């Protein structure tokens, strides 16, 4: 199909039933029936491509997966109950005891906990590379290294990694490159076009975009997805049909929503850049961003997250949070409602202060997930709280 992104997002749809419904129905069914003994045998033998049990596949999940595959330029995918289920199952399906993960240091907090607190139990080791020192990555590759893992933009520092450069390193050493593309969404950035093998999303963020459901998805190379599928259909992290149905609907409006998120975020970042109570502002599409050129090359727009540091450290930070009126104090992001987070005391509080410093999180740092309210109201709430 030669249709554009927006058209595919709206028009990709599983087969209609005999009722010829316009909008896709919800398939709340745990299992599917067979015509006869031979049909059942052939289905279990995988001679037929069909639904058997919703832990394996379900029409609503299939539609969601097809949409994301089209958006990301991926061959196949599997949908999960949460972003973390996608991250865990992807690693667990592809790695063996003794393997080594080479990961960017700035990754989602729970992913960091997975690598540091849980994978060592199964003798799966990791090293972290600094995102401002990609030239040092090759020296960290060992014979046990199986994959390179990164997010871009990063959370919460909104740093940008050069995906093409990472893919070249991965190819040279025959490693898989896996990118968590959650902060960009498939509308702004498609890591597979730069050479990634797999792309992971938390569907909970911009994909749903309205703070309603948890979801995750991994898409990419068919041979790798097949391994992930075989692991997941046994271990059971499947996405519920209801959430899949919701997500597939949400994707119809992804482009429209993300365009507005990005317009609002750029306006807010520009406003904060000139603010007397602010030390620094980071947003990928601000010229002052250290990787502005890379961001321009690999992203369609800068995303919904703006990071900045309030003058006056922790005390000023607390006062700022107490004075916020309209915006939500919450840990989510990519929601229609603007959200303010203080990473040092919440999402990244489990890191030591040295670990926080290494990923660019200071005590006065604030992360804003810019929502879909009118930008004048967003700016005025933040400006008031800063003053
Ligand atoms: C939220 C998030 C996750 C985890 O997703 P859940 O749906 O909360 O499990 C993983 N990676 C990134 C970058 C995220 O923002």
Domain ranges in the chain are: 5-251, 254-386
237 lines ligand 1 (CB under 6 A): no
CATH number belonging to domain 254-386:
3.90.1150.10
Distance CA 13, CA 59 (A): 10
253 pLDDT exceeds 70?
yes
Distance CA 182, CA 206 (A): 7
Average pLDDT over residues 26-49: 94
Closest approach atom of ligand 1 to CA 87: 10
Give the Cα-Cα-Cα angle 202, 207, 211 (nearest 5 degrees): 85
Phi then psi for 250, rounded to 5 degrees?
-60, -35
Residues 285 and 302: beta-carbon distance below 8 Å: yes
364 lines ligand 1 (CB under 6 A): no
**DSSP letter at 236?**
-
Q: For position 350, what pLDDT does the model report?
A: 76
**Residue 1: band (very low, low, confident or very high) from pLDDT cuts 50, 70, 90:** low
Other C-beta atoms closer than 10 Å to the C-beta of 43 total: 17
Q: Which amino acid residue places its CA nearest to atom 11 of ligand 1?
A: 108
Q: For position 308, what pLDDT does the model report?
A: 96
Cα distance from N-terminal residue to C-terminal residue, the chain: 53
Closest approach atom of ligand 1 to CA 333: 15
Higher pLDDT, 309 or 353: 309
Other C-beta atoms closer than 10 Å to the C-beta of 142 total: 9
> In whole angstroms, how far apart are CA 21 and each of 16, 24, 285?
7, 7, 42
Distance CA 132, CA 160 (A): 9
Q: For position 67, what pLDDT does the model report?
A: 98
Average pLDDT over residues 242-254: 98
Residues 129 and 107: beta-carbon distance below 8 Å: no
Q: Report how far ligand 1's centroid is from the alpha carbon of 202 (Å).
A: 5
Q: For position 358, what pLDDT does the model report?
A: 77
Q: Which amino acid residue places its CA nearest to atom 6 of ligand 1?
A: 83
**Residue 354: band (very low, low, confident or very high) from pLDDT cuts 50, 70, 90:** confident
Nearest to 303 by CA among 208, 371, 366: 371
What DSSP string runs through 297-321? HH-SS--SEEEEEETTHHHHHHHHH
Paired tokens of 362:
């200071």
Q: For position 351, what pLDDT does the model report?
A: 76
Higher pLDDT, 316 or 300: 300
Other C-beta atoms closer than 10 Å to the C-beta of 241 total: 19
> In whole angstroms, how far apart are CA 27 and each of 36, 241, 245, 251, 328?
22, 6, 8, 18, 34
94 lines ligand 1 (CB under 6 A): no
> In whole angstroms, how far apart are CA 367 and each of 96, 115, 133, 209, 387?
36, 24, 24, 17, 18
The region of weakest confidence among 79-83, 302-306, 314-318, 319-323 is: 314-318
**Residue 262: band (very low, low, confident or very high) from pLDDT cuts 50, 70, 90:** very high
Q: Report how far ligand 1's centroid is from the alpha carbon of 43 (Å).
A: 34
- Say yes or no: domain 5-251 is CATH 3.40.640.10: yes
Distance CA 196, CA 161 (A): 13
């Amino acid at each position: 199909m030669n249709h554009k992104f927006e058209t595919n997002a709206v028009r990709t749809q599983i087969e209609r039933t005999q009722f010829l419904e316009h909008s896709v129905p919800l398939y709340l069914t745990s299992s599917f029936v067979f015509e006869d003994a031979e049909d059942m045998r052939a289905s279990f033998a995988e001679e037929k491509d069909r639904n058997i049990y919703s832990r394996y596949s379900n029409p609503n999940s299939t539609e969601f997966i097809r949409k994301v595959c089209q958006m990301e330029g991926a061959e196949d995918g599997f949908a999960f109950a949460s972003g973390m289920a996608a991250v865990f199952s992807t690693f667990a399906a592809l790695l063996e005891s003794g393997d080594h993960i080479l990961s960017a240091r700035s990754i989602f907090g729970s992913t960091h906990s997975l690598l540091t607190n849980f994978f060592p139990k199964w003798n799966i080791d990791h090293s972290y590379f600094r995102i401002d020192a990609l030239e040092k990555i090759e020296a960290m590759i060992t014979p046990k290294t199986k994959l390179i893992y990164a997010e871009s933009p990063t959370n919460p520092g909104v740093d940008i990694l050069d995906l093409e450069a990472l893919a070249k390193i991965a190819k040279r050493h025959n490693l898989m490159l896996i990118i968590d593309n959650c902060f960009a969404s498939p509308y702004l950035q498609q890591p597979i076009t730069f050479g990634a093998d797999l792309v992971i999303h938390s569907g909970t963020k911009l994909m749903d975009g309205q703070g309603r459901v948890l979801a995750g998805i991994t898409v990419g190379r068919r041979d790798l997805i097949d391994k992930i599928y075989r692991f997941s259909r046994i271990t059971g992290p499947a996405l519920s049909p209801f959430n899949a149905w919701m997500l597939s609907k949400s994707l119809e409006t992804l482009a429209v929503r993300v365009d507005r998120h990005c317009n609002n975020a750029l306006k807010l970042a520009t406003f904060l850049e000139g603010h007397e109570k602010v030390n620094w502002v980071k947003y990928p599409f601000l010229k002052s961003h250290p990787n502005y050129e890379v961001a321009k090359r690999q992203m369609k727009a800068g995303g919904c997250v703006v990071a900045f540091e309030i003058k006056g450290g922790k005390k000023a930070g607390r006062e700022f949070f107490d004075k916020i009126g309209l915006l939500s104090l919450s840990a989510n992001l990519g929601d229609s409602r603007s959200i303010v987070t203080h990473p040092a005391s919440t999402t990244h509080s489990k890191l030591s202060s040295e670990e926080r410093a290494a990923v660019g999180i200071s005590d006065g740092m604030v992360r804003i997930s810019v929502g879909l309210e009118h930008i004048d109201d967003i700016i005025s709430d933040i400006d008031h709280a800063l003053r």
